[in-house]
Chain A
Amino acid sequence: MAYGDKILDHYQNPRNVGALDRNSENVGTGIVGAPECGDVLKLQILVDENENIVDARFKTFGCGSAIASSSLATEWVKGRTLDEALEIKNTDIVRELALPPVKIHCSVLAEDAIRAAVADLKAKRAARAGTAESGAGVK
């Protein structure tokens, strides 16, 4: 299969490869896929106090299209709020990278990874709020 230029570019020069401190309360981590299926995407986001995504990182086990989809997702989430990040749809990724039909699942995984990272961050925030409230109650 011949690859499109954008897939090749992201594969050869992947944006934002790496890891953020997953224990930080300002970091949300999403891991989706499974090794048996040939794809595992890990996407992490770093937010400021206003819930703006200021940084993102990924690591991906998967084909070139999965790597390109993850790389693109990290580019797109940066500068968005959490809710704005959830507006990114897999079809946008398919269109941008010109993914062939057999690779659409790569874009679905990228969308899932964004959702999982946002959900992780929101859960952390909710837990912190809960702790703060219950803490107040003890006082």
Chain B
Amino acid sequence: MRVYLDNNATTRVDPLVLEAMLPYFCEKYGNAASRSHSFGWEADEAVKKARQQVADLIGAAAEDIVFTSGATEGNNIAIKGVAAMYADKGRHVVTQSTEHKAVIDPCKYLEQHGFRVTFLPVDHWGRIDLQQLADAIKEDTILVSIMHGNNEIGTLQPIGEIGKLCKARGVLFHTDCCQTFGKVPINVQEMGIDLLTCSAHKIHGPKGVGALYVRRKRPRVRCEPVLHGGGHERGMRSGTLNVPGIVGLGQAAELCRLHLDTEPARLTALRDQLWSGLQARLDHIALNGHPTERTPSNLNVSFAYVEGESLMMGISDIAVSSGSACTSASLEPSYVLKALGVGDDLAHSSIRFSVGRFNTEAEIEYTIDRVAAAVCKLREMSPLYEMVQEGIDPSKVEWAER
């Protein structure tokens, strides 16, 4: 049995999404920008429909949606594009330490180009402090970028309150919603969002396509493009539209919207089944991220005294990911877990499980069995667990290599 529990990394394309996309490869293959023939018109119609489908999921108007190649591009346009456009007004941006690299790195790029960036710290659950945010906004602040749901630990930020605060202070608010788009209700009007990034492949759509919401009214937000060219997408994103991908994104968004009342609750139940099952079987395990304010799909657990990568090897038929350094080339454990104040030892011991539309209760039960068995086996060969059994706290030992 193979179980896929890495749905925060990417998801299986829903067959209904694929079905919607297929005609746009070999039959309706026109360029959506071709105004002079029916091939172009039918492609343009498909893009229009998808634009509406995406907009409907976040309470936006279709004209507010800019199609992109994915969330990395969306975040780059939002951050670098706003900074370039509003540089005369101010050169300060506020974000947080646990953002995805696709937000952190554009912000660092700005720092190298004459901007100041404030990286807000987070509490042990991964939430920012609203008072600290308010204090961080200065005269020359032009943009606040705070993600909705964290990709590693699932913690949700109170983006409605952040949006309100930004509105009151006259600062633009961008939010990366990759992990919540289609899973948590979002309304750009009620939440005061000016720019919003999302991606198709996190919601059972295809890879390589996403959308950026850019508010057109109250206020009208403008972005310098990152890609220059034919002036597509209101000039913010030149390049021939990826019509099949966009159709897939639209269909994926619509499926999420139709099931928003039931599917997030089902995912949450699977996630909670996994957590309570693991707790019943294992001691010395800890939840990373917020206990309740988290995305429906994400469960991040540290299994003390067991290294994450070795645990993944022990459950090799179950796809998960780890905050352990050993899974990356950097040899540094997850910066997100470190920002929460999770010790390096427990960061090395963390596993992210993320559920999706195609997971079942039986798969979760199987996962609980496999993980519990693997953790027990690895603890039997862990010198740290041996110390704990002997009443020694490994964190109080003077280790030679620091």
Interface string of A39-58 (1 = CB under 8 A from B): 11110000000000000001
Is B263 among interface residues, defined by CB-CB distance under 8 A?
Answer: no
Q: A61-B382, A63-B310 are in contact. List 12 more A-B contacts (CB 8 A).
A: A35-B384, A36-B399, A38-B324, A38-B345, A42-B383, A58-B381, A59-B382, A61-B306, A62-B310, A63-B313, A64-B313, A67-B310
Q: Classify the secondary structure of A's interface with B.
A: mixed
Report the tally of A-B residue pairs with Cβ distances under 8 A. Answer: 84
Interface string of A56-75 (1 = CB under 8 A from B): 00111111101100000000
Q: How far is the CB of B161 from chain A (nearest CB, A)?
A: 36
Is B401 among interface residues, defined by CB-CB distance under 8 A?
Answer: yes
Please name 28 pairs of A and B residues whose Cβ atoms are closer than 8 Å in the assembled complex, sorted by A.
Answer: A11-B310, A11-B313, A11-B314, A14-B381, A17-B381, A33-B399, A34-B399, A35-B348, A35-B395, A36-B344, A36-B399, A37-B344, A37-B401, A38-B307, A38-B333, A38-B348, A41-B383, A42-B386, A59-B386, A61-B305, A61-B307, A61-B384, A62-B307, A62-B310, A63-B326, A64-B309, A64-B310, A66-B310
Complex Cα gap A21–B79 (Å): 60
Q: How far is the CB of B70 from chain A (nearest CB, A)?
A: 24
Q: How far is the CB of B324 from chain A (nearest CB, A)?
A: 6
Q: How far is the CB of A10 from chain B (nearest CB, A)?
A: 11
Complex Cα gap A38–B332 (Å): 9
Using known A-B contacts A40-B384, A59-B381, A61-B383, determine if residue A34 contacts B310 with beta carbons closer than 8 Å. Answer: no
Q: How far is the CB of B9 from chain A (nearest CB, A)?
A: 15
Is B185 among interface residues, defined by CB-CB distance under 8 A?
Answer: no
Q: How far is the CB of A45 from chain B (nearest CB, A)?
A: 15
Complex Cα gap A11–B307 (Å): 13
Q: Assess the A67–B381 pair: CB atoms within 8 A.
A: yes
Using known A-B contacts A14-B381, A63-B307, determine if residue A36 contacts B345 with beta carbons closer than 8 Å. Answer: yes
Q: How far is the CB of B259 from chain A (nearest CB, A)?
A: 36
Interface string of B175-215 (1 = CB under 8 A from A): 00000000000000000000000000000000000000000
Contacts of B327 in A (CB 8 A): 1
Is B402 among interface residues, defined by CB-CB distance under 8 A?
Answer: yes
Q: Assess the A102–B384 pair: CB atoms within 8 A.
A: no
